[in-house]
Structure 1
Amino acid sequence: MTILTLVRHGETDWNAGGRIQGSTDIPLNATGRAQAREVGEILAAEYAGRAAFVVSSDLSRAAETADVIAAALGTSVARRLPGLQERSYGDAEGMDAATFYATYGPWHAANVPNAEAWPVVRERALAALAEAVAAAPADTDLIAVAHGALIREVIMHATDGEFPREGERLPNCSVTTFRLDDEAWEMLAYAGVAT
């Protein structure tokens, strides 16, 4: 059995401006760094006396968030996993949300040229998390820092599509926690908020 905590990276200037980042490597801004410190302090208090194996996407916004969290826990990031990268949004990367909607329609149903297919995102996310679980020492919880759309896919997998609900989003530095027992997933804490 493994406790998995998924953390969305802190805010970037593109998040603040409502722009789609996808696989574009945008760094944290000052707000994002403050969010990372805050969630690091919260997790450090929660993990007092427990070991944590920290991994992240290799995109800088997730990597820096993970570095801050790991430092607060008195450890370092064990692995940077390309499989935890955000979905590539193809032709929509850099677009603001209103233009995206006007051009492609609803977020999750949009057919964007050159974008990564949703089933591929889910498959690589689950493979990367399985790799991290296998690499973590016994009796160690796993903290993975990744990206909003990827985390949504994991949540949808774990809850058979019950979450996130229509109109909910995962804020920057939000935390969602699961219990993994072999192939069985149980969501213990959910970070989605209504938009």
Structure 2
Amino acid sequence: MKLGFIRHGQTDWNAQDFLQGSTDIPLNDVGRRQALDAVTVLGRGGWDVIVSSPLSRARETAQIMAADLGIELGRSYDELIERDYGQAEGMTLEESEKHWPNRTGGGIEPLESVVARGRNAIGLIAAEFPGKNVAIVCHGTIIRYTLSSFAGYKLDQIRNGSVALMDDSDGSWKVRSVNDEPLVLPS
């Protein structure tokens, strides 16, 4: 089984560096183009279904990609929703850091919770689509920290419209690429 994680396309809040978290902000035109660009990186062959977070920016990205790839648009999973930034949503990172250093407090969801949801989503998707290759459209923080938990170290920022791949070809989940590039282990 292969999983392809795609970060949703850009929103106006992404362009302005606002924390949007679980706030439902739609794609902008750049984001829609990024969804089509991600199809090229993902590749046209070998994908059985595409699923997503229920937030509109992820769902629309998945709809655009499913139509272009000619594959089934599967359901959305609440477990794939972005980290809840609580009172920091709508602020820049710099502003939020003044109020809640290291993104703790202010109702900000702990990273452990984000990773637990991400890992749970992978289990649910694997159970629903055994042996299938599934593209998953969701959000930067949940992709970054969930895949970091499998890679064993903290991965870099996840770009809008980028693709990360993992598989269980040897019996356990392994991260193979991040941000459209093969994964290079730190020295």
Q: Counterpart amino acid of 1:151?
A: I
- For normalisation by structure 2, the TM-score amounts to 0.89
TM-score (norm 1): 0.86
Aligned pairs (5 A) from 1:71-90: 71-90=67-86
Q: 1:155 aligns with which of 147, 153, 157?
A: 147
Q: Residue 34 of structure 1 corresponds to which residue in structure 2? A: 33
1:144 maps onto 2:136 in alignment: yes
1:58: which partner in 2? 54
- Report the alpha carbon displacement of residue 172 of structure 1 after superposing the two structures with TM: 0.2
Alpha-carbon separation, structure 2, partners of 1:27 and 1:143 = 20
Do 1:170 and 1:192's aligned partners in 2 also have CA atoms closer than 8 Å? no
Q: Secondary structure at the match of 2:174?
A: strand
Letter in 2 for 1:186: K
Cα separation, 1, equivalents of 2:76 and 2:35: 17
Kindly provide the amino acid, as one letter, of the partner of residue 172 in structure 1.
N
Measured after TM superposition, the shift of residue 51 of structure 1 is 3.8
- For residue 92 of structure 1, what is the aligned residue in structure 2? 88
**CA–CA separation in structure 1 for the residues paired with 2:35 and 2:110:** 29
Report the 3-state secondary structure (helix = DSSP H, G, I; strand = E; otherwise coil) of the residue aligned with 1:120.
helix
Residue of structure 2 aligned with 1:174, choices 140, 162, 166: 162
Identity of aligned residues (%): 35
Q: Within 1, Cα distance between the matches of 2:12 and 2:157?
A: 18
Aligned partners of 1:40 and 1:68 also within 8 Å: no
> Unaligned 5+ residue runs, structure 2?
182-187
1:184 is paired with a residue of what secondary structure?
coil
Q: 1:34 to 1:163 in 2, by over 3 A?
A: same
- The match for 2:64 is 68
Instruction: Indicate yes or no: 2:123 matched with 1:127.
Output: no
CA contact (8 A) 1:67 1:76 kept: no
Distance 1:159 1:67, change over 3 A: same
Q: Following TM superposition, where does structure 1 have runs of at least 4 consecutive aligned residues deviating by more than 3 angstroms?
A: none
Alignment size in residue pairs: 181
Which segments of 5 or more consecutive residues in structure 1 lack a partner in the other structure? none
